[in-house]
Amino acid sequence: MRKTMIFSGLVALLVSAITLFAFYTVQKDRNTVTIQHINGTPAQSTLYSLNGEGELAPLDFTEIAENVVGAVVHIKSSQAVRNRAQSPRYDERNIPDPFREFFEPFFRYESPDRRSAPQVRVGSGSGVILDKSGYIVTNNHVVADADDLEVTLHDNRSFKATVIGTDPTTDLAVIQIKANDLPTLPLVNSDDVKVGEWVLAVGNPLGLNSTVTAGIVSAKGRNINILREQFAVESFIQTDAAINPGNSGGALVNMSGGLVGINTAIASPTGAYAGYGFAVPANIVNKVVEDLIEYGVVQRAVLGVMIRSVDGNLAKEKDLAVNSGAYIDSLMNGSAAAAAGIKVGDVVIEVAGRTVKSSPELQEAIAQFRPGDNVEIKVNRKGSAKSFTVTLNNREGSRDLVSREHKDVLNVLGIDLEDVDRTLARKLDIEGGVKVVRLYPGLVKKSTELQEGFIITKVDDKVVNSVDEFISVLEGKKGGVLLEGVYEDLPGSHYYAFGMNS
């Protein structure tokens, strides 16, 4: 009995000892924090993609991002928003001293205490440097209506920018800064871009500079009806790379760092990224940029046709032999297509060797040519393929190019002009004049309240009936300039004054 009690006591003592040891160990572990550090471990590429030679290559965006961000800039556009009720549209303070006494009776006087200072509206966008001397491509809507443009580079240097030219029909614009040896992006042939191809969107969305997002090309030849111009060209590259407000004018690049397109729009019910972004294809960008730099305006070629995209329903309705292409609905007066032998009911299926599957793709293909160019166009006519050589026209029905002559003067003023036709002149009871069709940052916006649509009839009291006459008055001009003219929808004559050296 005694031995049993001794044995039980020893067992109890052993259990107690084990319990105390376990408790001590747990408490010790609870008070110990271990932080591990791993140094020098490289990132492991886990995805692979086929390169241009069909070889497997690691899917790594770091080198591409590093190479392209330096050529993408931030653009700040500032616009003075004036209170029309308190600030006169035609302000006598803008008249240079030599003209003030003579023209003072034409201006409404308002005492200084009734005037309110204009508020400044600031917009933000992106741009891509295409030339080392400072030429930058961006969206037209980024620079439209701006009184001042400031460009900030990836290295944080800032420059004032001048508008070289704009093209609302493609929503593109070219601006320039005074800098040299800038990083640039090369353009690629956007016809070769394939759906499913990896791309990066680079820009400055939501105030976040030098942002890079990745995705794929999810579609081509998209028309989303956002451009309201008569000759608008919409054949966007669609991507699921995240694009937000501020990305406009930024770069869409491929895995070689080549510029695939200029990011322009998003499809979203909220105004923020919802899965779809759209970019102007690089081939259109290349043509527009070349035209704006060389001519100051885009040399737009047209076929002179009204078209619709062919689908199954239209093919059934019109008894067509194909289910894709661009159906010729009608031919305009002086149509280049009609002159070559193309007829209503034909379906355009190929332009210059490039397959055409929709009307946006036809617009994109033709937009890469200039008036006077000869283009091989293949159509399907009642089941048979026929080819035609079409000499393209301009919008006016001729094959002439728009001259760049005097464009430098208009760049300084920040205006585009066109001659007033005789019908409008008779309606307004004027001999003639030049109409301001577009305003962008320059002396006129900076110094006056002049609006688009203003018809200039006199410059410094000299009658002008054409753009050439307008330019001849201002070439070499220094000091004050006074513009006199009319608006179609406002009574009376109106006056604007500014200094050529302001």
How confident is the prediction along the chain (502 residues), in pLDDT tens digits per residue?
Answer: 555 555 555 555 555 555 555 555 545 555 455 555 445 545 454 566 666 667 766 678 899 999 999 999 999 998 877 554 444 444 444 444 444 443 343 333 344 444 455 678 888 999 999 999 999 999 999 998 788 899 999 999 999 999 998 999 999 999 999 999 999 999 999 999 999 999 999 999 988 989 999 999 999 999 988 887 778 899 999 999 999 999 999 999 999 999 999 999 988 888 788 888 999 999 999 999 999 998 888 999 999 999 999 999 999 999 999 999 999 999 998 899 999 999 999 999 999 999 999 999 999 999 999 999 999 999 999 999 999 999 999 887 888 887 665 567 887 888 888 889 889 999 999 999 999 988 887 889 888 989 999 999 999 999 999 988 998 888 878 889 999 999 998 899 999 999 887 5
> 396, 465 in Cβ contact below 8 A?
no
**Helix/strand/coil for 469:** helix
Does residue 181 have an active-site annotation? no
The CA radius of gyration of the chain, in Å to the nearest whole number, is 32
Q: Distance between CA atoms of 493 and 486, rounded to whole angstroms? A: 5
- Kindly list the structural domains of the chain, giving each domain's residue range(s) and its CATH number in brackets, ordered by start: 71-177 (2.40.10.10), 190-294 (2.40.10.10), 305-391 (2.30.42.10), 407-499 (2.30.42.10)
Q: Which long-range contacts (CB under 8 A, 24 or more apart) does 445-448 make?
A: 445/147, 445/414, 446/147, 446/148, 446/414, 446/498, 446/502, 447/94, 447/497, 447/498, 447/499, 447/502, 448/91, 448/94, 448/483, 448/496, 448/497, 448/498
Please, are residues 436 and 497 in contact by the beta-carbon 8 Å criterion? no
Catalytic residue among 171, 346, 416, 419: 171
Q: Which of 77, 248, 335, 447 is catalytic?
A: 248
What's the whole-model pTM score? 0.74
Catalytic residue among 74, 77, 126, 141: 141
Q: Is 248 a catalytic residue?
A: yes
| Residue 141 is a catalytic residue | yes
